[in-house]
Amino acid sequence: MAEALQKKLQSELEKYKQMQKDVSKSMSARQKLEAQLTENNIVKEELDILESANTVYKLIGPVLVKQDLDEAKATVAKRLEYINGEIQRYETLLKDMEKKSEQHREVLSSLQQEYQKAQGRAVGKV
């Protein structure tokens, strides 16, 4: 009885650890997105200041390619939109994970209690 419980407890603990790993992975991905968002916002501000007389170049690999100012603005705007969407997606994902790990924690603690009780009984019998 206690052994079966212990096995279950262990496998649940493994699952919980895996979940925690996923959470921290998503966390760092979200942080990276946040940094990209800041960087792109700064670029957008700079592009907004420019006049059409300014020439814009885009670095593609090792070469600079001339690009239209409006095109560059559109690209950055699209990027910002994408990044914001991604952040939203991670936000909901993280919330979901948070809820799941909360539930898992409860399952774990009740399992632990059960296990301890079972052990106590086993000792009592001997």
Interacting residues toward other proteins by CB under 8 A = 39-40, 42-43, 46-47, 50, 54-60, 64, 72, 76, 79
Closest separation in Å from C-beta 124 to other proteins: 32
Taking the C-alpha atoms of residue 49 and residue 7, their distance in angstroms, rounded to an integer, is 64
Q: Which is nearer to other proteins, 33 or 97 (by Cβ)?
A: 33
Taking the C-alpha atoms of residue 17 and residue 20, their distance in angstroms, rounded to an integer, is 5
Q: Which is nearer to other proteins, 2 or 47 (by Cβ)?
A: 47
Closest separation in Å from C-beta 72 to other proteins: 6
Closest separation in Å from C-beta 36 to other proteins: 8
3-state class (DSSP) for residue 62: coil
Which residues sit opposite 67 in a β-bridge?
A: 56
Q: Which is nearer to other proteins, 60 or 126 (by Cβ)?
A: 60
Token pair, residue 14, equals 């493994």
In contact, 30 and 36? CB cutoff 8 Å: no
Closest separation in Å from C-beta 43 to other proteins: 4
Q: Which is nearer to other proteins, 9 or 43 (by Cβ)?
A: 43
In contact, 96 and 83? CB cutoff 8 Å: no
Name the pairing type of β-strands 56-60 and 63-67. Answer: antiparallel
